[in-house]
């Protein structure tokens, strides 16, 4: 259970950090700027594809300093966190990051949808794709949060991005000579368990692929992965000690 007093305190810490971080401001503005460029330079449809595919990464980048950086800074060894309250703070922090990234994503989706309605490019399926992007984003947050128990700020995100880069190169290699994973994923039909398992592994490191909404079994995989990563987080937080 989240402690309401800790939530309020965590929110004050996170809000201050976000407001005074130039990097966060640049990151928050870069994504909409890219979308505007895509709409103006190409089309609303192209921008929509980029929007939904890239939206989960908002959560990934938001999770970069979830745990380890706070522990190593020594800031948790103060009067505010005695009696094990640091565990509650770190749990609340993850919750606040999810809410903040979700609010940013929802705001951006609202503006993007309004633009789509104005130019006649909005489709009803966008709402489902937005929900799937949120699911993929929360999965990223839980996974990167769990990794940040072991890896320093930024390294947890970097590990996932490197894994994604390797997976994408592998994916492109399968598409070169014969029908590959991209074709199977596009059609939503896989010829056997082998390609399915391979695509499942790809989905685990690049959950953005579920936003198409055509491959429901992998959406289930990400939902299960989210549950598993949250459980891992809960176990890690319960065992966490400060000042070893």
Partner 1 sequence: MIEARKLAKRFGRIEAVRDVSFTTKRGTITAMIGENGAGKTTTLKLVLGFLRPDSGTVAVAPGRTGYVPDRPAYFARLDGWSILGLARPHRGRRGPGNGRGHSASVLAAARSLLFDPVLLRRLPASYSAGNAKKFSYLQNLLIEPDLLVVDEPFSALDPPSIKCVRDVFCGLRADGKTVLLSSHMLAEMEKIADGFVVLRRGQTIAHAGLREWRLLRSARPGPDLESVFLRLAGL
Minimum separation from the CB atom of position 22 to partner 1 (A): 11
Q: Are 47 and 119 in contact (CB under 8 A)?
A: no
| Residue 22 binds to partner 1 (criterion: CB under 8 A) | no
* List 8, 36, 40, 99, residue binding partner 1 (CB under 8 A): 8
| Residue 99 binds to partner 1 (criterion: CB under 8 A) | no
Residue 100 or 222 having the CB closest to partner 1: 100
The whole-angstrom separation of Cα 151 and Cα 164 is 17
Which residues, 164 to 223, sit near partner 1 by CB under 8 A? Answer: none
Minimum separation from the CB atom of position 11 to partner 1 (A): 9
Minimum separation from the CB atom of position 150 to partner 1 (A): 16
| Residue 20 binds to partner 1 (criterion: CB under 8 A) | yes
| Residue 77 binds to partner 1 (criterion: CB under 8 A) | yes
Minimum separation from the CB atom of position 1 to partner 1 (A): 18
* List 29, 36, 80, 197, residue binding partner 1 (CB under 8 A): 80
| Residue 13 binds to partner 1 (criterion: CB under 8 A) | yes
The contact set with partner 1 (CB under 8 A) reads 5, 8-9, 12-13, 16-17, 20-21, 70, 73-75, 77-84, 86, 241-244
């Amino acid at each position: 259970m989240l402690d309401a007093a800790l939530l309020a305190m965590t929110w004050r810490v996170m809000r201050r950090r976000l407001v005074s971080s130039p990097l966060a401001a640049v990151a928050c503005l870069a994504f909409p700027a890219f979308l505007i460029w895509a709409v103006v330079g190409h089309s609303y449809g192209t921008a929509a594809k980029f929007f939904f595919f890239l939206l989960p990464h908002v959560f990934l980048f938001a999770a970069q300093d979830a745990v380890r950086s706070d522990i190593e800074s020594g800031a948790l060894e103060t009067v505010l966190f005695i009696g094990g309250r640091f565990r509650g703070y770190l749990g609340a922090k993850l919750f606040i990051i999810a809410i903040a990234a979700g609010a940013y994503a929802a705001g951006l989706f609202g503006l993007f949808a309004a633009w789509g309605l104005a130019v006649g490019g909005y489709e009803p399926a966008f709402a489902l794709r937005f929900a799937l992007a949120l699911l993929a984003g929360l999965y990223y947050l839980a996974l990167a949060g769990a990794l940040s128990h072991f890896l320093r700020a930024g390294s947890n995100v970097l590990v996932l991005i490197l894994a994604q880069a390797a997976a994408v190169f592998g994916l492109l290699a399968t598409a070169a000579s014969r029908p590959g994973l991209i074709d199977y994923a596009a059609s939503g039909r896989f010829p056997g368990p082998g390609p399915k398992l391979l695509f499942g592994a790809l989905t685990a490191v690049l959950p953005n692929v579920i936003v198409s909404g055509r491959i429901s079994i992998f959406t289930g995989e990400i939902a299960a992965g989210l549950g598993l990563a949250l459980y891992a987080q809960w176990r890690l937080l319960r065992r966490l000690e400060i000042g070893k």
